[in-house]
């Protein structure tokens, strides 16, 4: 049974309803209030935290997405270019549009299709028969770079940053065919390279010479076949060998201008021909052929193929290094390279420096260091001679890219014609804005430099002295008067990890391949100031490292011994 709902008879209905609303409004006015300042701040902080988490997550996802797209594009492009090469015997020459490289044979099935926001720079070797290429792919949103070449696996520097959060990690990266720069994936910037003259670089993997434009570094895959690339950093040099790539033959007799033949008791006459080489730079090779005839079977039979330098280019005390490319055969005989110091009149001032070589059927580079030139020396004569020639002996020699330079080591080839040619030093500057003046560690991956006396991997000149990482000891040189020179000898060849660390008021340490160098640390203090830039590979025109450097990582703390091992093991084999 339902219970009836009754209204009070003492008041009219309208008054009772009015009182009811009035009572409710009074109750709300007593219990409803706004947020306090503390509560608002809490809410704002929570929202900010959530927003930060969202932004970080989105940034991370975006970065991973760009890396994945670059990696995919690099792999696809590398595979397509390999298939193109297999079908046509060369790589595409030009890009007909933003996505499709072409060649004299246009084939759209080999177009390089890129992911959204990715752009490419495709650089094949010059000519109509391109045998090499460099490909850079960059994401325009994250500014992330990826690199691929015909003879090295694709890499993305952002994936190769050294462990333990370095403030800089300069990696040698190609931007064209066998040339490029140091790139820091931490700050996403390139180093500043200053060299006004062109140069060349020799790639032992292809046994060829490649042009390097001004203000670029010579870049090639690591010569020890590990991952990544190396930059060949060199001091300024002059090639004193004239007509070094046999480009001129004014009288069309097959013998290049400036070169002459000397002989002793050789009955026949050699023949000469010139032809383009396979070692690059548009070089010609000079071929000399001779077959022994009757009368060549007795006595001291020899001939020499030689070229004098310009007058007044060599002086007493000069040590010279001779280099050249040669191939051929002198079976049963001996072939040597030689350098003779002379006066301007051609009179010898001392004994010739000689070195016997063994030829092969492919052009190969040979080098020789001379003794110091004696008094009265004004020029030099360089050449090649064959001894022990007999009847029916067959001589077939081809030469190219000849170089004679002052100093005790060989550098990249400098082409010459009728005059000497000088190449500037590679000056490589990197910013130090994020580096710590009080605590730091430098980690360099290098090859044993050609010249090992006072050559620096890194030079940071502070306002209160210098801090330098030597390329030979290694050593950490600090505050002008304090020099850490460990006695441990580093390998005479091959790649190594060189580390120097410092901390204000603490000892200074150096490591080779992760092992602390004897005789141990010295006590030192860090400089009190810092220049805005440091230099990779030396500190001027005369103290370049003169060897390959792959990377240089910089930390704002003195790494512990265990951290040194971690970094060494992580990066020693390349990115």
E strand or H helix at 267? none
CA dihedral 351, 357, 359, 364 (to 10 degrees): -90
Of 403, 200, 259, 244, nearest to 320 (Cα)? 403
Domain boundaries in the chain?
A: 38-133, 260-411, 427-571
Which residues of the chain carry a pLDDT beneath 50? 1-30, 480-484, 486-487
Residue with tokens 């492919």: 362
Q: Check residue 451 and give its pLDDT.
A: 59
195 exposed, middle or buried (CB, 10 Å; 0-12, 13-18, 19+)? Answer: buried
Tell me the per-residue pLDDT of 387-439, one tens digit each, with 9 for 90 and over.
888 888 999 999 999 999 999 888 999 999 999 999 999 999 999 988 988 88
Q: Check residue 526 and give its pLDDT.
A: 62
Phi first, then psi: give them for residue 570, nearest 5 degrees.
Answer: -75, -35
The two three-digit tokens of residue 487, written as one number: 């006695």
- CB 186 within 8 Å of CB 157: no
Contact partners, residue 344, CB within 8 Å, separation at least 6? 311, 312, 378, 379
SS3 readout for 248-264: CCCCCCCCCCCCEEEEE
E strand or H helix at 563? helix 561-571
- CB 528 within 8 Å of CB 437: yes
SS3 readout for 530-562: CCCEEEECECCCCCECCEEEEEEEEECCCCCHH
Tell me the per-residue pLDDT of 288-300, one tens digit each, with 9 for 90 and over.
999 988 888 766 7
Q: Check residue 476 and give its pLDDT.
A: 64
- CB 392 within 8 Å of CB 291: yes
Q: Check residue 133 and give its pLDDT.
A: 87
Q: What whole-number distance in Å separates Cα of residue 286 and Cα of residue 363?
A: 12
Residue with tokens 């079977």: 297
At the fourth CATH level, the homologous superfamily of domain 260-411 is Galactose-binding domain-like (2.60.120.260)
Q: What whole-number distance in Å separates Cα of residue 222 and Cα of residue 572?
A: 12
- CB 171 within 8 Å of CB 219: no
Q: Check residue 1 and give its pLDDT.
A: 42
CATH of domain 427-571: 2.60.120.200
Q: What whole-number distance in Å separates Cα of residue 29 and Cα of residue 256?
A: 109
Tell me the per-residue pLDDT of 12-49, one tens digit each, with 9 for 90 and over.
444 444 444 444 444 444 455 677 887 778 888 888 87
Q: Check residue 403 and give its pLDDT.
A: 96
Q: What whole-number distance in Å separates Cα of residue 446 and Cα of residue 437?
A: 24
Q: Check residue 258 and give its pLDDT.
A: 93
Phi first, then psi: give them for residue 23, nearest 5 degrees.
Answer: -65, -40
Contact partners, residue 380, CB within 8 Å, separation at least 6? 240, 308, 309, 313, 314, 320, 339, 340, 341, 342, 370, 373, 404
Contact partners, residue 475, CB within 8 Å, separation at least 6? 469, 483, 484, 485, 486, 500, 510
**427-571 shares the fold of 260-411:** yes
């Amino acid at each position: 049974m339902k219970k009836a709902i009754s209204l009070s008879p003492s008041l009219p209905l309208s008054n009772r309803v009015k009182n009811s609303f009035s009572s409710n409004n009074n109750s709300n006015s007593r219990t409803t209030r706004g947020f306090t300042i503390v509560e608002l701040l809490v809410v704002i902080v929570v929202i900010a935290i959530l927003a930060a988490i969202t932004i970080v997550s989105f940034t991370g996802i975006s970065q991973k997405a760009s890396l994945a797209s670059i990696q995919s594009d690099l792999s696809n492009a590398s595979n397509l270019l390999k298939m193109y090469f297999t079908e046509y015997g060369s790589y595409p020459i030009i890009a007909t549009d933003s996505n499709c490289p072409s060649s004299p044979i246009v084939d759209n099935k080999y177009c390089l299709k890129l992911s959204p926001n990715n752009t490419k720079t495709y650089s094949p070797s010059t000519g109509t028969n391109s045998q090499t290429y460099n490909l850079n792919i960059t994401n325009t949103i994250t500014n992330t770079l990826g690199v691929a070449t015909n003879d090295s696996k694709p890499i993305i520097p952002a994936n190769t940053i050294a462990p333990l959060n370095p403030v800089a990690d300069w990696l040698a990266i190609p931007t064209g065919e066998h040339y490029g720069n140091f790139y820091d994936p931490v700050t996403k910037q390139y180093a500043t390279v200053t060299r006004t003259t062109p140069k060349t670089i020799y790639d032992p993997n292809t046994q060829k010479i490649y042009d390097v434009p001004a203000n670029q570094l010579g870049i090639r895959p690591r010569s020890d076949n590990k991952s990544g690339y190396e930059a060949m950093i060199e001091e300024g040099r002059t090639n004193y060998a004239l007509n070094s790539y046999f480009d001129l033959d004014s009288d069309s007799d097959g013998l290049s201008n400036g070169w002459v033949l000397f002989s002793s008791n050789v009955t026949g006459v050699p023949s000469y021909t010139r032809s383009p080489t396979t070692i690059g730079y548009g070089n010609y090779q000079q071929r000399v052929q001779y077959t022994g005839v009757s009368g060549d079977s007795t006595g001291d039979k020899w001939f020499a193929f030689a070229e004098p330098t310009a007058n007044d280019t060599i002086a007493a005390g000069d040590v010279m290094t001779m280099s050249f490319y040669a191939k051929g055969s002198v079976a049963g005989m001996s072939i040597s390279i030689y350098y003779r110091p002379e006066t301007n009149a051609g009179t010898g001032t001392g004994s010739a420096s000689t070195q016997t070589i063994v030829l092969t059927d492919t052009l190969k580079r040979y080098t020789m260091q001379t003794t110091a030139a004696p008094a009265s020396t004004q020029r030099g004569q360089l050449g090649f001679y064959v001894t022990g020639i007999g009847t029916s002996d067959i001589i077939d020699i081809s030469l190219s890219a000849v170089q004679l330079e002052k100093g005790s080591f060989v550098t990249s080839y400098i082409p010459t014609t009728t005059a000497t040619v000088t190449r500037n030093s590679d000056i490589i500057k990197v910013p130090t804005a994020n580096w710590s003046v009080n605590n730091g560690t430098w980690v360099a991956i290098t090859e044993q430099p050609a010249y090992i006396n006072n050559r620096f991997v890194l030079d940071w000149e502070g306002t209160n002295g210098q801090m330098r990482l030597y390329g030979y000891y290694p050593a950490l040189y600090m505050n002008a008067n304090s020099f850490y020179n460990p006695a441990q000898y580093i390998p005479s060849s091959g790649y190594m990890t060189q580390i120097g660390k410092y901390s204000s008021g603490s000892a200074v340490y150096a490591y080779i391949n992760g092992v602390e160098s004897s005789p141990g640390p010295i006590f030192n203090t860090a400089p009190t100031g810092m220049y805005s830039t440091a230099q990779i590979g030396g500190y001027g025109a005369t103290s370049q490292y003169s060897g390959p450097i792959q990377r240089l990582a910089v930390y704002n703390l003195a790494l512990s011994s265990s951290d040194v091992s971690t970094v060494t093991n992580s990066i020693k084999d390349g990115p």
